[in-house]
Amino acid sequence: MSDYKNTERNQEAENRPNTGTTSLNGLAKEIHENAINHGWWEEKRSFGEIIALCHSELSEALEAYRNSEKMVWDNNGKPDGMAIELVDCIIRILDYCAYAKIDVEKAILLKHEYNKTRPYKHGGKVI
């Protein structure tokens, strides 16, 4: 790898926020605590509500894509763009996983290992 690429990666790493969290479960817990602190769990949220909110974030990502927006752009100090909308969905999922005490790391690894055993384009579906 060229020195330019190494420098570019080092700069990217330096620009990343450091939450002190090193695990996905730790990040989920931190995200959930933040959601609680900002009032999003004052009333119990239904699973359907969580799914609808995730769907809305994915719809926003699709609209950003359809509008040819940059992956990430500054919207008056608020990060915006397709990548941010995708991350918003992940944040909502991690929030719920922490709430429901789901070991998200274990679940991801379990499913990933299973997916490795599946045949090429399994299921024969068009998309």
pLDDT of residue 36: 97
**Average pLDDT of 20-42?**
93
For the question of whether the overall pTM of this predicted structure is more than 0.85, the answer is no
Give residue for tokens 């330096």.
Answer: 14
Which sequence spans correspond to the domains of the chain?
A: 46-116
The answer on pLDDT for 2 being more than 70 is no
Question: For 43-102, how does the pLDDT look when each residue is reduced to its tens digit (9 = 90+)?
Answer: 999 999 999 999 999 999 999 999 999 999 999 999 999 999 999 999 999 999 999 999
CB atoms within 10 A of CB 64: 20
**And the tokens for 14?**
């330096």
The answer on pLDDT for 7 being more than 60 is no
39 beta partners: none
The torsion angles phi and psi of 35, rounded to 5 degrees, stand at: -65, -40
Banded pLDDT at 16 (limits 50, 70, 90): low
**And the tokens for 42?**
């004052």
pLDDT of residue 11: 53
Banded pLDDT at 12 (limits 50, 70, 90): low
pLDDT of residue 19: 63
